[in-house]
Amino acid sequence: MDYTFSIRYLCIALYSICDPSVETKVKTYVNIKLPEELAREVDELVKDRTLGYRSRGEFVTEATRLHLLKIKALKKE
């Protein structure tokens, strides 16, 4: 199990308790609709685990981030 996430937020929480002026940056999320066919394909990749994805959300987050990087690179050209 990867404890990095939990330890990071525990450290932030403890630090902000000691110093209330520190603002913690908590991620907020939105729901996005995805066609069932795509969702099934993503779920199969996640289920397979060979690519390292732990959830549908993790896959979609990475795919979106990579696509945005490509678009930004094209805009710079």
The predicted-structure confidence for 22-65, as pLDDT tens digits, reads as follows 555 677 888 999 999 999 999 999 999 888 999 999 999 999 99
Q: Who contacts 72 (Cβ-Cβ below 8 Å, separation ≥6)?
A: none
Q: Residue 1 — very low, low, confident or very high, per pLDDT cuts 50/70/90?
A: very low
Q: How far apart are CA 68 and CA 10, in angstroms?
A: 30
Residue 35 is which amino acid? P
Q: What is the rounded radius of gyration, in angstroms, for the C-alpha atoms of the chain?
A: 17
Q: What is the pTM of this model?
A: 0.61
**Nearest Cα to Cα of residue 61 among 26, 37, 34:** 34
For 19, counting Cβ atoms within 10 Å of its Cβ (0-12 exposed, 13-18 middle, 19+ buried), the class is exposed
